[in-house]
Structure 1
Amino acid sequence: MRKIRVGVNGYGVIGKRVADAVFLQPDMELVGVADIATDWRIQSAANRLPLFASTPDAQAAMAAAGLRPLGTLDELLERSDIIIDTTPKHVAAGNLERYRTAGVKAVFQGGESHATTGHSFVAQANYESALGRDTTRVVSCNTTSIVRVLGALDGAGLLRRARGVLIRRATDPWESHLGGIMNTMVPEPTIPSHQGPDAQTVLPGLDLVTIAAKGAHTQTHNHYWTLQLTREASRDEVLDALRAAPRIAFIRMSDGLVALNSTIELMRDLGRPRGDMWEVAVWEDLVTVQGDEAFLTYQVYNEAIVVPETIDAIRALTGTAPDAATSMKITDDTLGMRSDFLRPAESPR
């Protein structure tokens, strides 16, 4: 069977991770990455990836910088079955008609609105509704985590409503020198914050409200949830629902993983590429249940969590995997996803 020919437009924080993930998939071929930059980010990719220029001006600039682009974005589209647009927020929406004209399917990221594609995607929640579509939008890092965790409890029949507080990182680590937040915290100016309504584009039945603020750090987000359950439940029931869900992994303060930075260091010690964490890291020993209320906190690695969802979206749009379970198994096996970062899967937790 011919491999899916995948192009990536935008070689930034998400784009470079998606490109590397495509390389690992047995049913996909990376035909090229496109960008407008000529600095170290593109230079580091030029000798190992097929490089294209997103615009004619960028093609000239790349050539002047000693790079050798194989062509422009139009030529990348000619070689691709599907394009993954990881260009900056709001830029991608302007590319939609270009992709349609080229007859290429397209996956967008959470920086664009739901209205851009009319479909928002998290693999475990609504893979089947994306089958055969021309476009979809993988929701943002925070929204992905909400759908995974709250969707697991909702699917187990345990969740009535959810109220959450999100402490967001201020900026991506590589550009922290450009500004950001120091010695303060900045509340998002509306309640609910945008992540709650965004999650409802994937799981419309969720009753949730989110409140968010940006903190003075650059690595990962941190969520705190107060959950009204459908009935009185035990802590083990809540934990079992989370254990049964894909792409959730437990961490524990009792193991010394007491803060966001400790989990980041663990990812490096586990040999994860770029220290990435594709899973939602739930603090197992902080999950608390009191009657029909549950309380939990977890960590979201904003640079990596949407990568497996993007890979699954490729299979959904091209129809090469019939259901979520089939696609997610391939993706999770190739990436080395885990349900617990320190204990073997066969050991009792």
Structure 2
Amino acid sequence: MTHTENTRVAVNGYGVIGKRVAAAVAAQDDMTLAGVADVATDWRVAVARAKGYPLFGATLEHVRAMTEAGLDPAGSLDDLLGAADVVVDCTPKKVAAGNVERYRERGIKFIVQGGEKHAVTGHSFTAENNYDTALGRQSTRVVSCNTTSTVRTLSALKQAGLLKKARGVLIRRATDPWESHLGGIMNTLVPEADIPSHQGPDAQTVDPELDVVTMAVKAPETLSHLHYWTVQLTREASKDEVLGALRASSRIAFIRMADGLVALNSVKELMADLGRPHDNLYEVAVWEDMLTVQGDEAFYAYMVDNQAIVIPETIDAIRALTEIEADGATSIEKTNEALGITGRLVPEPVAA
């Protein structure tokens, strides 16, 4: 493949993440969606076909089932892999690890999601941190939603020379919204048994120098996660200095309770009003007016859209693996422009 050709991207698994990855790939001017593969024959894949995405069955048996359902599949997963330069595996947790050998045998580049272990690829990715080390690799792992937000915010402080150590409490959504009828929890909170919870060590797979400890609890809601952080700075600093450090990341956006964004649901409603696909919040949404600095300690909270935050990272990972863009900052800029990530969520008032 020369750099004048579009990168052909396969998406294996058309669920919560897969459908968002497919839409994001289709929005890029240097990528072509080769197709999506799945095991289902329900409304989700029917929507994929209605969008004109080439549809493939995970196995020949699934191809037959799709054919019987009138979905007109283009072939099997093997056919899709043969027509692609890179595959983004968005299958359920632990399933991707079983697909890896097939990808390696075919010599196709591949990306797995944060539900898989770091050892599956030996490389864990966030675009602002280690784009360069992903260039030309056969594979990488885009870390989970919670880990992505942790690395984004702490790295912004670190790059400003302000981060000494961080301690975070993660209030996690219990399940994805469309599966609320299956495995949600009600009328209780479920603490994770281990301290640190897995997100802190996972962040260190991206940046081993981060001094971070996380604690987590599952809450009976599905919209997103909420993080509270206590950060010891390297020195005394002002609130404006901490805000400025966070503002340096194009994928951190400030929200304010003073604007009526007082809870997770109001921020999701804002995404809907902005016309974001699937109401996606790609950014880490930090409450600007809540952030407090006392001496050399900073305290802040933010919202993490578990279904959307990893999507821009996945697009950048595609460019890094396939080397269609050697510069991480340029890739981030291209992805941000295509997905409408501007660093600002509440529009400026229109002048009279």
Q: TM-score, normalised by structure 1?
A: 0.98
Task: Answer yes or no: is the 8 Å Cα contact 1:224–1:297 preserved in 2.
Answer: yes
Partner of 1:339: 343
Unaligned runs of 5+ in 1: none
Aligned residue in 2 for 1:27: 30
* Structure 1 ranges of 4+ moved more than 3 A: none
- Aligned CA RMSD, in angstroms, stands at 1.1
Once residues 262 and 183 of structure 1 are traced to their aligned partners in structure 2, the CA distance between those partners, rounded to angstroms, is 22
Deviation at 1:179, TM superposition (A): 2.7
| CA–CA distance in structure 2, aligned partners of residues 339 and 85 of structure 1 | 28
Give the drift of 1:344.
4.2
Aligned to 1:46: 49
What is residue 166 of structure 2 aligned with on the other side?
162
Aligned residue for 1:267?
271
Task: Supply the distance in 2 between the matched residues of 1:274 and 1:136 (Cα, whole angstroms).
Answer: 26
Q: Which whole-Å deviations, capped at 9, do the CAs of 1:114-149 have from their partners, x for residues lacking one?
A: 000000000000000000000000000000000100
Distance in 2 (alpha carbons) for counterparts of 1:343 and 1:153: 26
Equivalents in 1 of 2:193, 2:137: separation in Å?
Answer: 35
Q: Identity percentage over the alignment?
A: 66
1:129 aligns to 2:127 (yes or no): no
- Aligned partner letter, 1:139: V
Q: Quick check: 1:124–1:246 contact (8 Å CA) kept in 2? A: no
The structural deviation recorded for 1:224 is 0.1
2:289 is paired with a residue of what secondary structure?
A: helix
Aligned counterpart in structure 1 of residue 292 of structure 2, from 273, 283, 288 = 288
Residue 165 of structure 1 contacts residue 225 of structure 1 at CA under 8 Å; is this kept in 2? yes
- 1:248 has 2:252 as partner: yes
Aligned length: 346
Match of 1:215 among 201, 219, 238: 219
Structure 2 segments unaligned to the other structure (5+ residues): none
- Equivalence for 2:332: 328
Q: Deviations over 1:281-319 (max 9, x none)?
A: 000001100000000000000000000000000000001
Aligned residue number for residue 201 of structure 2: 197
Give the drift of 1:338: 2.4
Report the CA distance between 1:64 and its aligned residue: 1.4
Return the letter of the residue paired with 2:259.
Answer: D
1:113 equivalent in alignment to 2:123? no
CA distance in 2, matches of 1:96, 1:49: 24
1:60 aligns with 2:85: no
Amino acid at match of 1:304: A
Say whether 1:36 aligns with 2:39: yes
In the alignment, is the contact (CA less than 8 A) between 1:308 and 1:332 conserved in 2?
Answer: yes
Q: 2:235 aligns with which of 217, 231, 234?
A: 231
Confirm or deny: 8 A CA contact 1:122 1:309 kept in the other structure: yes
What is the aligned counterpart of 1:9 among 9, 12, 16?
Answer: 12
1:135 partner letter: S
**Number of the residue aligned with 1:141:** 145
CA positional deviation for 1:343: 4.6
User: Who is 2:83 aligned against?
Assistant: 79
Once residues 257 and 347 of structure 2 are traced to their aligned partners in structure 1, the CA distance between those partners, rounded to angstroms, is 14
Match of 2:246, SS state, is helix
Q: Distance in 1 between matches of 2:43 and 2:26?
A: 21
CA–CA distance in 2 between the matches of 1:320 and 1:264? Answer: 33
1:70 is aligned, of 62, 68, 74, to 74
- Contact 1:250–1:283 (CA under 8 A) maintained in structure 2: yes
Partner of residue 305, structure 2: 301
* TM, length-normalised to structure 2: 0.97
3-state SS of paired residue (1:333)? helix
Q: Per-residue displacement from partner, 1:158-214 (whole Å, max 9, x unpaired)?
A: 010000000000000001011311011101110000000000000110001000000
Match of 1:174 in 2: 178
CA-CA distance at 1:60 after TM superposition: 1.2
**In structure 1, C-alpha distance between the alignment counterparts of 2:348 and 2:136, rounded to whole Å:** 37
Q: Is the 8 A contact 1:279 1:338 kept in 2?
A: no
Tell me, in whole angstroms, the C-alpha distance in 2 between the residues paired with 1:40 and 1:335.
25
Give the Cα separation in 1 of the matches to 2:286 and 2:84: 37
Superposed CA deviations along residues 36-89 of structure 1, whole A, max 9, x for unmatched, are 011111111123210001111111111111111111010001000000000000
3-state secondary structure, aligned to 1:127: helix
